[in-house]
Amino acid sequence: MNIELIPAIDLIDGKCVRLTKGDYTQKTIYNEDPVAQAREFERLGFRRLHVVDLDGAKSKHIVNDQVLKAITTATNLIVDFGGGIKTEEDIEKAFAAGAHMVTVGSIAVTEPELFMTWLDKYGADRLILGADVRNGKISINGWKEDSEEGLLPFLKRYVDRGVKNVLCTEISKDGTLAGPAIELYKTIMSEFPDMHLIASGGVSATEDIKNLENEGIPAVVFGKAYYEGRIDTARLLMPSHGLAKRIIPCLDVKDGETVKGTNFVNLRSAGDPVELGKAYSRAGADELVFLDITASYERRKTFTDMVERVAREVNIPFTVGGGINELSDVERMLHAGADKVSINSAALRRPELIDEITSHFGSQVCVVAIDARLDEDGWNCYVKGGRERTQRGLFEWAEEAAQRGAGEILFTSMNHDGVKQGFANEALATLAERLPIPIIASGGAGKMEDFRDAFTIGRADAALAASVFHFGEIGIPELKSYLRKEGIRVRI
């Protein structure tokens, strides 16, 4: 799915619990071992986790930091942590325990200047503004007190100061399984379209999450619905042909800079990958792909530090490829912040790598990239950045990759790459017909109509492009507006 899926673990006495409407007397224990629960979320394929220290919220200081540390040590989940964050010492404790982000709510209401000093010190990518709402007002201190702060003015104050991530919980919905406050979240997004809004409270079933996605809500937290068996995780985590079409800029990186060429050669510089990634995230790209295009050929590993830098700047799914040959490479990239990995040459050399990745990390992590060229004898697969032809044909290899558990196929036509004459729509349509998993079209984007044709004629699930985005020939907001007018479902 395009919406970010964030399961929750709420902690009381070191146990995984859920409350109803924030009432500590209405507590249900779902797992006495939160570390085991976190491992289960990771095994299922989730990449993020929301941990709430309910003891901390009540006591007004962190209580369960050791449980947090146990979770972050035992898993590679991206964990955001909240509850009881009242001092800078609490923030440092959370980060020391392995939290990637910290959610701050009450202090932003009671001591706004202190919150701003934290925002300046730690940055907008590491702090999440908690906005717990009851009767249109912000609630504080573990929902035990209501302030006089109205929601929208509260959000505007901090968005104007640089806040990007907001976790909004409608308290009357939380733990009730009554459905999320979709109208509230739509109102927030209409006021703040660039916000990374995390909706929380009331999710009762898989359909609620799909409805949030349909309304363009970027992320959702859910707990009770999962614990009570109402969430179809397989349906959520396996990409679907029925979802919105995705627009994906590709950052081809060589020697630390983004490059673009024609037919895989004649490369020219297109800018800094970190800055480009940040700009595309802000512009409304649905995902990013970051490819170290000479890693396989030069037998190098993808630059982990660059992946970390790019990941810190974006709030959309992020795929990394190039030089990934074994499980340890995958683990390193996921730990650095990638959501998925793309494998190409290594998978053709040893197809079992697909099975290994999907069994350890889930199908949604594994993107099999196929560089193919239409030769006189048909479509053939190439490796090492398009330098070496293999004995595998495009369609039979794609079918095997899908059978082995790949989550998506990223198909690049070498004939079309960089020439801006449209995608290989006939081959795309054949792949879509034969495969049960999504297809990402790559190679050939030159004008907006090319994207339309990839989705309609080629039946692709996503379209990837580089130079038309890098050099300002097509703007992502304008492209999405055009596609929507053409009747193609995209997230605006």
**Which contacts qualify for 297-302: CB closer than 8 Å, 24 or more apart?**
297/384, 297/385, 297/387, 299/323, 301/329, 302/329, 302/333
**Which of 14-18, 146-150, 297-301 has the highest mean predicted lDDT (pLDDT)?**
14-18
The predicted model scores a pTM of 0.56
- Judged against a pLDDT cut of 90, whether residue 172 lies above it is answered with no
- Cα dihedral 456/459/464/470 (nearest 10): -10
The residues, any chain, with a CB within 8 Å of residue 355's CB and separated by 6 or more, are 404, 405
pLDDT digits (tens, 9 = 90+) for 255-289: 667 655 444 444 445 567 888 888 898 898 999 99
The Cα–Cα gap between 10 and 197 comes to 20
User: Could you give the residue numbers annotated as active site?
Assistant: 252, 371
Beta strand spans in 32-93 (E): 48-53, 78-82
Say what the pLDDT of residue 468 is: 92
The Cα–Cα gap between 206 and 53 comes to 26
- Judged against a pLDDT cut of 70, whether residue 296 lies above it is answered with no
Average pLDDT taken over every residue of the chain:
87
pLDDT digits (tens, 9 = 90+) for 5-51: 999 999 999 999 887 766 777 788 999 999 999 989 887 878 899 99
The Cα–Cα gap between 62 and 53 comes to 7
Say what the pLDDT of residue 483 is: 93
Which amino acid makes up residue 254? Answer: K
The residues, any chain, with a CB within 8 Å of residue 169's CB and separated by 6 or more, are 130, 131, 132, 133, 200, 201, 221
Q: Which two tokens stand for residue 388?
A: 């070496």
**Which of 203-207, 250-254, 260-264, 335-339 has the highest mean predicted lDDT (pLDDT)?**
203-207
**Confidence label for 481 from pLDDT (cuts 50, 70 and 90):** very high
The Cα–Cα gap between 488 and 368 comes to 25
pLDDT digits (tens, 9 = 90+) for 321-367: 988 899 999 998 888 888 899 999 999 999 999 999 998 888 889 99
Range of lowest pLDDT (49-63, 144-158, 455-469)? 144-158
